[in-house]
Every structure is written in C-alpha cells, then in structure tokens.
Amino acid sequence: MTTSTATRPAVSDADGTAPTDFDTVVIGAGFGGLRMLHELRQLGLSVKVLEAGSDVGGTWYWNRYPGARTDTESWAYIMNFSEELKADWVWSERYPGQAEVERYLQHVADRFDMRRDIQFNSRVTAAIYDDATNRWTITTEAGQSFTCTYLVSASGVLSVGIDPPFPGLDSFTGQWFQTSSWPKQPVDFTGKRVAVVGTGATGVQVIPEVAHTAAHVTVFQRTPNYVIPARNHALTDAQRAEVQRDYDKIWEKSRAQVFAFPMNPAEHAMTDLRPDQQQRVLEAGWETGGFRFVFETFNDLLVNEESNQIAAEFIRNKIRTIVKDPATAELLCPNYPLFAKRPPLGHFYYETLNRDNVTLVDVRDNPIREVTPRGLRTGTDEYEFDIIIFAVGFDVGTGALSHIDLRGSGGQTITEKWAAGPRTHLGIGVDGFPNMFMISGPQSAIANIPVIIDNTVDWIGKTITFMRQHGYDRMEPTPEACAQWQEQCNNDLDATILASGEEVGSYFFGANIPGKPRAAVFYFGGAARYMQFCTDVVDSDFKGISFSAFSESTT
Ligand code: NAP
C-alpha cells in the first residue's frame, strides 16, 4: 500500500456542519503543532489542530513578558522542513525576541495555509480512548467534541505555569502578573514599585527590562542561578546572508551536538590544561557568551566534578567582580554544581543588580509567607508594591498532559500511569495509550527544541506510514520498551553532574513542585544519541512497539 499525498477530506457531520471526525487531532499550534500539521498533510491525513490561544505560537504566544527571547541562537531556532521557508526568513538578532518568534510562527502558518486546519480559542480538557472503536474522543473547554484515530500532543514542555504559590493573592490591591500568561496589552511600569518573584531563566530576562522604567524593582530570590551572559547582538546583512547560505550545514551541526546547538565540540578536558590556560579558555567562553560558555570551552564540565567546580568558581568570581555590593554578590553566588539547574542566559542581569532602583531580597531562609493587600510578607517583613510579577516556573514535562482528563485503554488516566513519575517510550509513546504520540513529551531529549521536534515529527510520520503500509490501525509501545527507556533515562542522567540537581529543586526531576514524583523528566544522554535511538527503532521495523489491525485487537 502506498500513501497518498493528497489530504483526505475530514468527514462532515450528517447535518453538514463543520467536520468533527479526523484522522488526527493535534493539541497545540506552537512549533510542534505546526510542524506536525505539515507532516500529516504530506501523508494525506485529515487533521484538526486545537489551540487554546487566539493565534499560533504556543510558548511564544503566552510568554510575552518584557525581555522574553530565545536562549538558542536564532540560526538554529527554525523549522527545517521547507527550502522556501528558509529562503524567505532570516532572523534579525543572535537571540530573537518573543515578538519576532511569534511573527515567524505566524509567517509559517500563513505561508503554508495552515490556519484552515487550526481551531483557535479551543482549550482541550479531555482526550479519551475507546477500546471498542479504537478511536479517541477529544473535548474542548467549550464542550465541543472531536473524534480521531491518532492523537498527537504538541502541547509543550513548559506550557503549564505554576500559579503564585502564596495565600492572600485575592486581597492584593495592586496589579499582579504571571510571566507564563502575560497580557497582550503592554504593562506600564513607569514610576511603579515592582516585585519580581523568581530568578530562573524567565525572571532574569524580565528583571533588567522592568528596571529601566520602574521606580523600584525588588527581586525575591530563593536559589541563585549561574547566569551566563547571552551577548545578544543584531545580525549584520553579511551575517544574515551567511546564515541563509549555510542553513543546512547549521542544522546538521546542531543534530550532532549534545544539546542540538550548532556549536563546535570543546577540544580539551579541563584537566588537560594548566590553571592559567583553563582561565584563558573560560574567559574566552565568557566573552563569546551563551551556552557556548558551557559547550565550547571544556568537554568534561558536565561529567567531571573538579572541572565543573573550576567553571562554577570562575562564574562566582565574575559575579563578585560585576556586582559592586559584596553582600549582594555573595547572595547571587550559587553553591551547587553548574548545570544542576538549567542556567539562564542574562542580558546585563548582574549589572542590573547594581542599579540604585533594584534590591535583592534573599528568601531562602526567610520565605515569602503571603500576599497582603499592599504587597508581600516574609516571616519578618512586609514589602509594599504597585505591581507583583510571578516568574515561578512550570509544571515541566508531564504538566501539559496531566492537566487534562487523558485516558487510555481500559480508562486508565495518565496521572495514574505516571503516579511514580513519567514512563514513556522515547518520550513519544506510552504503553496503554494506543495511537497517541507526544511531541516534546517527558523523557524526550533535553535540547534545542525545534531540532527535537523535527526528529519526533519525522518519527511519528514514519510510524504512521509503516502502519498504513502494513494495514495496521492500532499501535502502542510495549511495557518492556517503556521500562527500558526509563532505565536508559536514569542511567544516562546518573552519568552526569545534572543528577545533583534533585537536591537543589531542579525541574529536571520534578523537584520544583512539592509532591511531584521525583524522576528524570528528560532524556539527558544527548540529542544526537537520542535521535540515534529513534532511528534504531525505525530501522528495526519498530522493535518495542506492538501493532495490530483493529479487527485483530477486537477478536
Ligand atoms: P524556573 O527556572 O523553574 O524558575 C522559577 C523561579 O521561581 C526559581 O527562581 C524558583 O526558585 C522561584 N520560585 C518558585 N517558587 C517560589 C517561592 N515559593 N518563593 C520564591 N521563589 C520561588 O522557571 P522559569 O524561569 O520560568 O524557567 C523555566 C524554563 O523555561 C527555563 O529553564 C528554560 O528552559 C525555559 N525558558 C527559556 C527561556 C529562553 O529560552 N529564553 C526563557 C525563559 C524560560 P527555586 O530555584 O528556589 O525553586
């Protein structure tokens, strides 16, 4: 059997109203959902994409807080599926801002006429598999239902923001905002007393921006981070032409790198060099900025404790040099290994802490207890604010699916399935959840996301093609394959320094949320290795996955 390239029309309701039955329903119209839509169309499948927002963008639709921009260099933050798309888009900066990324995704949707298959303002609340019909029923918040054979979750890895975790929020008489669902209308901070709670990758982006106009910014920090300077800059015309010419080479380079960044492998282990040479290499990495500081300096930073400590002390010394007040500098110095928590990239973050209108408050031993009508109260003090910004993180990895009523075969819910932590096959499938695919699901590789999305979408396309070629209409990974993948995730994590993150509340383990099961939320063995695992499954005619024709599974 060959696959058709013409899109199969969706089945209309009997009364001629809009169709509700599709080959595939995709949840989410961000990077993953758009890329998946394109692939499914190529396979000739009918598709409905359900998107909670009023437009495409996903992460880049919701996280429109001041200062939001990528931490990945723009030339590797692309969709690679179309030569035409690459020919007509080049970014303007090393790290594009939220508005530009949103424009890019809108451009993709328009250029490939994607909107006709996307229904906006449609938050999915339930997805339930029916053993009797081998079909999924998807329900939205508005009570609409859709049925489909294949369910694809493209609902994001960092898409469920944590609500402000303090009592009393309703009593606050000022304004408050959550970075993960920032309003479209600009917020005016001019002359305002502003609190920012949280100093992760989001907090460190928002703080310098707000400090430009606010009367005063108070930064509430619980755990300091290693903030590496991003060193953003505009791309010159020559650089843009070079990027456009080299897109393919850049993509291949990214696919080969451990975090799917287009970076050169570090030539040396820290231990190969004398201390003065080590410092010179670290200094050059610091000047280059971004994750190149980690990946292009030394090849043992994430696996050798001593090397990691030298790099960590280098950053602490930078903090002590940049931040003028010694007490503030010491509060900003982390005391855990570099990369035990995901380090943010800063845009003059430490410099911002020198401003007269910025104060750092350490809440590690004196936590915020409540929101009061006038501001925030710790165990000892009350602080008054006009505006509070909560940048307190996400229910990472499992959050998007755990927050909907997702039930697989026999009515088992995904929260029951993952009661002890996520257990998946390649971060894409789950045993007991037939014909369900996850893009950027838990236990997928932690890496530059567009590259992993592209790989996953390609893998899903190949799996569906295999099914159609062999007359199968039901697939799911075996429990053994899921158990093996879980073991692989744990083993590869234990081989790195990232494993120490559990003690410091890293979301890599779900440790940023009280009560969330502690387990590897990602595959940490490197993007290239992860993609090889995916290829091996395809090449082995899908070892670890059980397929059946529906008639077989019902007899
Ligand atoms: P995060 O890294 O989890 O940071 C949340 C912050 O809130 C932490 O500083 C945390 O402190 C603090 N916090 C949470 N509860 C608190 C409480 N009760 N009291 C005081 N502080 C509290 O979340 P995020 O900054 O949103 O970043 C998450 C991820 O999103 C990033 O690591 C990155 O992968 C992605 N992201 C990417 C970009 C980009 O690429 N440009 C930008 C932003 C975010 P503790 O550390 O003590 O828990």
* Ranges for all domains in the chain classified under CATH 3.50.50.60: 20-160+396-548, 164-226+339-393
pLDDT band at 552 (very low <50, low <70, confident <90, very high): low
CA of 321 to the centre of ligand 1 (A): 25
Is the domain spanning 164-226+339-393 CATH 3.60.70.12? The answer is no
What whole-number distance in Å separates Cα of residue 282 and Cα of residue 294? 9
Section 251-265 average pLDDT:
97
Does the pLDDT of residue 9 top 90, yes or no?
no
Q: Residue 115 gets which letter from DSSP? A: G
| Nearest C-alpha neighbor of 3 from the set 475, 539, 463 | 463
Q: Residue 303 gets which letter from DSSP? A: T
Residue 48: count of CB within 10 angstroms of its CB: 24
> Mind listing the pLDDT tens digit for each residue in 353-406?
999 999 999 999 999 999 999 999 999 999 999 999 999 999 999 999 999 999
202 lines ligand 1 (CB under 6 A): yes
Does the pLDDT of residue 240 top 80, yes or no?
yes
Does the pLDDT of residue 291 top 50, yes or no?
yes
| Nearest C-alpha neighbor of 388 from the set 209, 219, 186 | 219
DSSP of 71-90: SS-GGGSS--S-HHHHHT--
What whole-number distance in Å separates Cα of residue 252 and Cα of residue 262? 8
| Nearest C-alpha neighbor of 389 from the set 378, 372, 375 | 375
CA of 237 to the centre of ligand 1 (A): 35
Does the pLDDT of residue 5 top 80, yes or no?
no
Q: Which two tokens stand for residue 209?
A: 């921006």
Q: State the pLDDT at residue 495.
A: 87
Helix residue spans in 289-377 (DSSP H): 292-295, 305-322, 326-332, 349-352
Of 158-167, 300-309, 507-516, 524-533, the range with the lowest mean pLDDT is 507-516
Helix residue spans in 157-304 (DSSP H): 201-211, 237-256, 275-288, 292-295
Q: In sequence order, which residues have a C-beta less than 8 Å from that of residue 36 and are 6 or more positions away? A: 26, 49, 152, 154, 439, 457, 460
Q: State the pLDDT at residue 550.
A: 79
Percent of the chain with pLDDT over 90: 92
Section 121-146 average pLDDT:
98
CA of 454 to the centre of ligand 1 (A): 26
pLDDT band at 509 (very low <50, low <70, confident <90, very high): confident
> Mind listing the pLDDT tens digit for each residue in 439-493?
999 999 999 999 999 999 999 999 999 999 999 999 999 999 999 999 999 999 8
Q: Which residue's C-alpha comes closest to atom 46 of ligand 1?
A: 223
Percent of the chain with pLDDT over 70: 96
* Mutation choice for ligand 1 from 31, 91, 158, 159, CB with most ligand atoms inside 8 A: 158
Per the prediction, the chain carries an average pLDDT of: 95
Element (H, E) at 546: strand 545-548
What whole-number distance in Å separates Cα of residue 325 and Cα of residue 309? 24
Q: In sequence order, which residues have a C-beta less than 8 Å from that of residue 155 and are 6 or more positions away? A: 27, 28, 124, 400, 401
Residue 238: count of CB within 10 angstroms of its CB: 8
| Nearest C-alpha neighbor of 195 from the set 184, 206, 180, 185 | 206
| Nearest C-alpha neighbor of 223 from the set 549, 482, 512, 454 | 512
pLDDT band at 1 (very low <50, low <70, confident <90, very high): very low
CA 282 to centroid of chain Cα atoms: 28
Residue 284: count of CB within 10 angstroms of its CB: 13
Q: Which residue's C-alpha comes closest to atom 45 of ligand 1?
A: 223
Q: State the pLDDT at residue 501.
A: 84
What whole-number distance in Å separates Cα of residue 110 and Cα of residue 355? 43
232 lines ligand 1 (CB under 6 A): no
* Mutation choice for ligand 1 from 512, 513, 521, 522, CB with most ligand atoms inside 8 A: 512
Q: State the pLDDT at residue 12.
A: 53
What whole-number distance in Å separates Cα of residue 379 and Cα of residue 367? 6
Domain 20-160+396-548 adopts which CATH fold? FAD/NAD(P)-binding domain (3.50.50)
CA of 10 to the centre of ligand 1 (A): 41
* Mutation choice for ligand 1 from 392, 394, 444, 516, CB with most ligand atoms inside 8 A: 392
Does the pLDDT of residue 6 top 50, yes or no?
no
Q: Residue 442 gets which letter from DSSP? A: T
Q: Residue 158 gets which letter from DSSP? A: S
Section 413-441 average pLDDT:
97
Residue 446: count of CB within 10 angstroms of its CB: 28
pLDDT band at 272 (very low <50, low <70, confident <90, very high): very high
Q: Which two tokens stand for residue 400?
A: 């998007």
Q: Which two tokens stand for residue 211?
A: 């400090």
167 lines ligand 1 (CB under 6 A): no
pLDDT band at 433 (very low <50, low <70, confident <90, very high): very high
Does the pLDDT of residue 4 top 50, yes or no?
no
Q: Which two tokens stand for residue 193?
A: 């007393």
Q: Which two tokens stand for residue 185?
A: 């209308």
- Could you tell me if 454 and 80 are in contact, meaning their C-beta atoms sit under 8 angstroms apart? yes
435 lines ligand 1 (CB under 6 A): no
CA of 227 to the centre of ligand 1 (A): 12
CA distances to 367, 438, 480 from 459, rounded to whole Å, are: 45, 11, 20
Q: In sequence order, which residues have a C-beta less than 8 Å from that of residue 185 and are 6 or more positions away? A: none
Residue 169: count of CB within 10 angstroms of its CB: 14
Does the pLDDT of residue 213 top 80, yes or no?
yes
> Mind listing the pLDDT tens digit for each residue in 40-81?
999 999 999 999 999 999 999 999 999 999 999 999 999 999
- Which residue pairs, CB below 8 angstroms and at least 24 apart, start in 277-284? 278/310, 279/314, 282/310, 282/311, 282/314
Quick one: 98 exposed, middle or buried, by C-beta within 10 A (0-12, 13-18, 19+)?
A: buried
Q: Which residue's C-alpha comes closest to atom 29 of ligand 1?
A: 201
| Nearest C-alpha neighbor of 119 from the set 37, 197, 31, 29 | 29
Q: Which two tokens stand for residue 269?
A: 């282990």
Q: Which residue's C-alpha comes closest to atom 33 of ligand 1?
A: 201
Section 520-529 average pLDDT:
95
Q: In sequence order, which residues have a C-beta less than 8 Å from that of residue 211 and are 6 or more positions away? A: 217, 352, 355, 357, 358
